[in-house]
Structure 1
Amino acid sequence: MSLRTHNRHGLLTVHIPPELVPSILQHISPTPPSPLPGPAFIDRSWQQYRHDLRAFIQCALVCRTWCTFTREIMLHTLIVPWLDESILQLCSILRQFGSYSRVMIIFTIDAGDSVRLNRNDFCVALDGCFSSMPQMPKVEIYGAMDRIFGYSLPAEVGRFDLLSLRSLKLAGSVGHSGKSLLDALGRVAPFLETLEIMYFETWPFDHSLPTSLGKLHSLILHCTYLSVPGVIDLLRGPDEDGNSGQVLQKLVIIPGRLQSIPPPDITPLLTFDSTGERLRFLMIHALDPCRSLECCPALETFVYVSPTSSNIFPFLPRTLRRLAISVMLLSPSNRFVAYISSENARNLLHLAVALKHDADLAFTTTSELFISVTEACKDAGVSLTWMVPGMLGLGLEGWDDVTELFQTVQSLPRARLKLI
């Protein structure tokens, strides 16, 4: 099909099929600066993003079709800097187009010379945004919990009733506002399916949620201080006889850098209400993998890329479909070769092996270990991926749901994973 046509003046024009417009707009839409690994954006990065966003909005002026697609893309994920006056305009826009919004990201920013709102006015506007978004399943908050959920906030401000919320990501310090945070979390707890807690060196485990996490399918404790009794209380909720562990299927535990050594034993958590027996996905770091695997007989995905020489293969369940491990676990290679050729590995489809440094690749690819592991995977029909820091590649096929977690544990830049 030719896209070239001539208008009535004889000039050559290009016709773009409507079905291609969304892909074109997605390709040219600006990408916001990532709030990780630090809690605060640089003001200059935010201002550049706003400039690019204004330029992108000009695409809406082409025609009505482009206007519709641009609006859907622009409002799908909302970027909200803490105390920035731009929230006033956003609140006004959402009164008419809030149904397009699905994700909101709130983050702290270096003030610079930008105009700042006072805290109460910002929270009132934020509450107005929330009330205008009936289908917003995900909220991410980076480094602003103390400011949003502090004790000094008036009772009529910041209640934030998010009845459609399905996923909540909290990253940053909680300080002295732990109870206020848990009260706010309790209001959405009955609806949450995913809760991710990141970069908390403390967490208010001395307080319990006022409402049970009855629908929680995924719990991610990401570089956060781990209190095993506290996590159990979080799952159990306010009722000593109740729990939400019965529906939990994905558990990720990456202890914080201030975690005590030796690391805590998470066996009580996995045995609480048979939580481990129901898990389908488990990712742990710097914890005992063998003791954890003993409690999880139905896993389909297991991720343990911490350097260790433990022999985990006898403990891997037959249900396993994806396995990600450190290269150290492959030595000696005969343990892995025996496992992958056994009946216990009959359901395994994907193996990812994490290398700590680029130099490991040159060493590994010329070693007997590399040859034997590669041949064993080929014979078993298992897809093999070597995760190499800093190398351009095709992405990590089949592991999109944990790419960010790989990035944290292995310092692997996103979309820089080499597929072999």
Structure 2
Amino acid sequence: MALGTDDSRWSPTVHIPPELIPSILQHISPTSSFPSLLSRQVFTDGSWQQYRHDLRAFVQFALVCQTWTTFTREIMFHTLIIPWLDESILQLCSVLRQFGSYSRAMIIFTMDTSGPMRLLNRNDFCVALKGCFPSMPQIKKVEIYDTTDKIFAHSIPTQVGCFEFPSVCSLKLSGSVGRGRKSLLHALGHGAAFLETLEIMYLETWPSDYKLPTRLGKLRSLILQCTYLSVPGVIDLLRGPDEDASSRSLRKLVIIPSHHQTIPPDITPLLTFDSTGDRLQFLMIHRLDPCRSLACCPSLETFIYVSPTSSNIFPFLPRTLRRLAISATLLSPLDRFVVYISSERAQNLEQLAVALKHDAYLALTTTSEPFVSVTKACKDAGVTLTWIVPGALGLGLERWDDVTELFQTVQSLPRARLKLT
């Protein structure tokens, strides 16, 4: 139809170039403000309910025309929010038979069951959950918060508790579990061979002598947050069922031990196992010996250690390092930092982040001499310097988006708020 016609049936949206429609919808969709910035608080303060409300409002855009319908479905079904025992999973399971190919991520969490929602019993919920996965051939990420032991409990029939994640590349298991059930790790199941990222949080007892039925052959990122650390157990996890095989694709390792583990073990055996440390490009550790760990990792590009320490880590930092995040305590005495930042050992360093505490923040605001000297040394070396201040807003940590949540987890930064630009 030619432009300028008076026909009232003509809709200008039909003539919007199709390649612009996804950008328009992404700008107004709720997915950009919730699933990409998840935190445990989202599930306890009821924010997920607002997300569902916004998503229902967004459905109206599917009624504009057939072209918009296709693109809205990609957003509507991209990230599925599933509260534990919520009866709505029955309807979702039915809808996914038709639209499951649009789904890419699923988030399961414990909700406050004191509300007016209608709930299912555990077995019926798990049966419905298992029925969802075959309808989502393109799903790439599954996150399970505080329900892992309930979903994979021994009391659930085997045919229900054994889920298959053949296309999942990222799996996050988070739950306050202290019973050490081996069933907790059954979530890896048949999907172990395809996983590229595995994150385990708040596991207070690591199951002993547990080996996966399939090797983690594609695992690139292993994140253990606030978890009881059993070095032999982690080695068995990486080794898999075959004594002669291991996950040799691992490039990122994050270890934040549980506070119940008062004396964190030496992780050197883990880093030296099958030359794991030689291949690492990203290492973040907390309350562990930084010097021993660095000695095993000669090719790091990112190292994060924001725990207060008196150790001098600078002689151990590899020449390949591009990003470094440290506690302000490592800047004292100042001369050893200045020597490092101006040496050939730091020639590839591009970004430095320094984590402060409130007393250090007060010193920074008064422009005391140590901080002035650090700023000048970084400027002379061409290194971008960022001060991480607890509770502060407006921080610009460019290209640090992969560690934002991890910064917030570490107890030395209890109220850190990092704004990415």
TM-score by length of 2: 0.90
Are 1:392 and 2:390 counterparts? no
Gaps (5+ residues) in structure 2?
A: none
Kindly state the Cα deviation for residue 45 of structure 1 after the two structures are TM-superposed: 3.9
Number of equivalences: 408
Could you say if the C-alpha distance between residues 247 and 48 of structure 1 is closer, same or farther in structure 2, counting changes exceeding 3 Å?
A: closer
Are 1:147 and 2:122 counterparts? no
1:375 — aligned with what? 376
Are 1:305 and 2:342 counterparts? no
Amino acid at match of 1:23: S
Are 1:50 and 2:55 counterparts? no
Q: Aligned Cα RMSD in Å?
A: 2.4
Kindly state the Cα deviation for residue 20 of structure 1 after the two structures are TM-superposed: 4.5
1:74 — aligned with what? 76
Amino acid at match of 1:85: E
Q: Return the alpha-carbon distance in structure 1 between the equivalents of residues 187 and 256 of structure 2.
A: 24
2:231 — aligned with what? 228
Which region of structure 1 is more displaced relative to structure 2, 286-295 or 384-393?
384-393
Which region of structure 1 is more displaced relative to structure 2, 92-101 or 407-416?
407-416
Q: Return the alpha-carbon distance in structure 2 between the equivalents of residues 231 and 60 of structure 1.
A: 47
Q: Residue 39 of structure 1 contacts residue 142 of structure 1 at CA under 8 Å; is this kept in 2?
A: no
2:291 — aligned with what? 290
Q: Return the alpha-carbon distance in structure 2 between the equivalents of residues 175 and 209 of structure 1.
A: 20
1:183 — aligned with what? 186
2:81 partner SS = strand
1:172 partner SS = strand
Amino acid at match of 2:321: L
Q: Return the alpha-carbon distance in structure 2 between the equivalents of residues 228 and 78 of structure 1.
A: 34
Q: Return the alpha-carbon distance in structure 2 between the equivalents of residues 94 and 404 of structure 1.
A: 30
Q: Return the alpha-carbon distance in structure 2 between the equivalents of residues 340 and 295 of structure 1.
A: 22
Q: Return the alpha-carbon distance in structure 2 between the equivalents of residues 108 and 408 of structure 1.
A: 20
Q: Return the alpha-carbon distance in structure 2 between the equivalents of residues 369 and 14 of structure 1.
A: 62
2:164 — aligned with what? 161
1:264 partner SS = coil
Q: Return the alpha-carbon distance in structure 1 between the equivalents of residues 232 and 161 of structure 2.
A: 30
Which region of structure 1 is more displaced relative to structure 2, 154-163 or 332-341?
154-163
Q: Residue 41 of structure 1 contacts residue 107 of structure 1 at CA under 8 Å; is this kept in 2?
A: no
2:205 — aligned with what? 202
Q: Residue 106 of structure 1 contacts residue 142 of structure 1 at CA under 8 Å; is this kept in 2?
A: yes
Amino acid at match of 1:391: A
Q: Return the alpha-carbon distance in structure 2 between the equivalents of residues 155 and 185 of structure 1.
A: 15
2:363 — aligned with what? 363
Kindly state the Cα deviation for residue 7 of structure 1 after the two structures are TM-superposed: 7.5
Could you say if the C-alpha distance between residues 32 and 381 of structure 1 is closer, same or farther in structure 2, counting changes exceeding 3 Å?
A: closer
Amino acid at match of 1:107: F
Aligned ranges for residues 120-139 of structure 1 at < 5 Å?
120-139=123-142
Aligned ranges for residues 252-267 of structure 1 at < 5 Å?
252-261=254-263, 263-267=264-268
Aligned ranges for residues 15-94 of structure 1 at < 5 Å?
17-18=16-17, 19-30=19-30, 31-32=33-34, 36-37=39-40, 41-42=44-45, 44-94=46-96
Q: Return the alpha-carbon distance in structure 2 between the equivalents of residues 7 and 128 of structure 1.
A: 51
Gaps (5+ residues) in structure 1?
A: none
1:199 partner SS = strand
Kindly state the Cα deviation for residue 136 of structure 1 after the two structures are TM-superposed: 1.0
Q: Return the alpha-carbon distance in structure 2 between the equivalents of residues 7 and 107 of structure 1.
A: 53
Kindly state the Cα deviation for residue 21 of structure 1 after the two structures are TM-superposed: 3.7
Deviations 1:307-360 (A, max 9, x none): 112111000011111111011111222111111111111111111111123x53
Q: Residue 357 of structure 2 contacts residue 389 of structure 2 at CA under 8 Å; is this kept in 1?
A: yes
Deviations 1:356-387 (A, max 9, x none): 23x53341250222222111111111111111
Which region of structure 1 is more displaced relative to structure 2, 85-94 or 143-152?
85-94
Amino acid at match of 2:186: D
TM-score by length of 1: 0.90
Amino acid at match of 1:144: T
Q: Residue 390 of structure 1 contacts residue 416 of structure 1 at CA under 8 Å; is this kept in 2?
A: no
